[in-house]
Amino acid sequence: MYIPFVKIYLTGNEKQNISQTSSLSGDGFFTRQCHAWLEQNLRCNKALLTPSCTAALEMAALLMNLNSGDEIIMPSYTFPSTANAFALRGAIPVFVDIRPDTLNLNETLIESAITAKTRAIVLVHYAGVACEMDTIIKIAKKYELYVIEDGAQAILAKYKGRYLGTLGDLGTYSFHETKNITCGEGGALLINNPHFIDRAEIIREKGTNRSSFYRGEIDKYTWQHLGSSYLPSELNSAFLFAQLEAAEYITERRLNYWNIYHEGFADMEDSGLIRRPIIPAECEHNAHIYYLLVTDVDKRDKVLAHLKQKGIMAVFHYIPLHQSPAGKLFARAHGELINTESISKRILRLPLFVDMNENMLQFIVETTKEALLN
């Protein structure tokens, strides 16, 4: 049996949508449908599709008018895009440690990392499990900081009943092929602070007010501000809209498989061989990732090798950003990042996709247990 780490789920409507596109360029019918779906279902002020979550983060950095030397507080345990977007504007990512339970930014360490140069808190909802948003927003208001939610993994996940990506000033999503809802490459910027709406449209359209022109609000468009080309192809939007329409079904299926994993590894946790994911009571996750934390890096590597030998493609991530060459050049760490460094060596991610079945899941659980016990 061969089990890939990820496999794109097709709803059956993607090809039909693509065949109905009348243009390949951005902001056509299906892009507008995706915008409407995100705004109505997530209840955000404005949603704009982008070519990637990276692009959405770059737009967020532009909207903040960052200057060289400004600082943003963020976790080191994340993908490089989270830091790159702000470093490209000359800002300095300041890394603080993560919580050992959720693997999210440790909200109790944020305040001590704030300086006169701090402009924003950039948080990551790891595995679709929410950060402690009440505390983070309270700190941000106290120090007049922006809150940017990197929700690359978090679509349809919630914190106290509200969708992740809609609680901060700005939120971002990824629709990469590894994500729950996908169009291969794609993303979205959610604008919750109304102050940013008009300029976000300008930044996304190469720094011009072309969106206003297309709506008939002005008779010509001109260069208004710094910007770039942040529109996805209409083909991607057509594919994505089919996925969004099935988003609840996709999430439900993934949650079912996540729960099977969780029950299957309960005895291993009781034996002290692993630790399963922890979901705080105020969080509703979206089953983006099922991971195990093993005892050390040697055990993790042995389990990965055994799974690969049996045809199961499991992985680990991330290499902490503060330990990477670019992280040492463009960022700095605040305090010791003990949990970040420990977890990055012990985490093991198991396959999780909609087209799985219980036989696959049982095979993965049994094979993983064999490796853990040897």
CA torsion through residues 222, 226, 229, 231, sign = negative
Q: Give the ranges where 163-296 is alpha helix by DSSP (H).
A: 197-204, 210-214, 234-245, 247-264, 266-270
For every residue of 129-140, DSSP letters joined together read ----HHHHHHHH
For every residue of 68-100, DSSP letters joined together read TT-EEEEESSS-HHHHHHHHTTT-EEEEEPBPT
Contacts of 358 (CB under 8 A, 6+ apart): 260
Beta bridge partners of 170: 148, 191
**179 among known catalytic residues:** yes
The residue annotated as part of the active site, out of 46, 179, 299, 369, is 179
Round to whole Å and give the CA distance between 288 and 210. 36
Q: Quick one: tokens of 335?
A: 């305090």
Output the CA–CA distances (angstroms, integers) from residue 325 to 84, 211, 320, 321, 331, in the order listed: 13, 40, 11, 8, 10
**Beta carbons of 96 and 122 less than 8 angstroms apart:** no
Output the CA–CA distances (angstroms, integers) from residue 59 to 1, 102, 146, in the order listed: 43, 27, 14
Round to whole Å and give the CA distance between 286 and 156. 6
For every residue of 35-55, DSSP letters joined together read HHHHHHHHT-SEEEEES-HHH
Angle between helices 297-309 and 338-346 (to 10 degrees): 30
Round to whole Å and give the CA distance between 310 and 314. 11
Biggest alpha carbon–alpha carbon distance for the chain = 72
Active site residues: 179
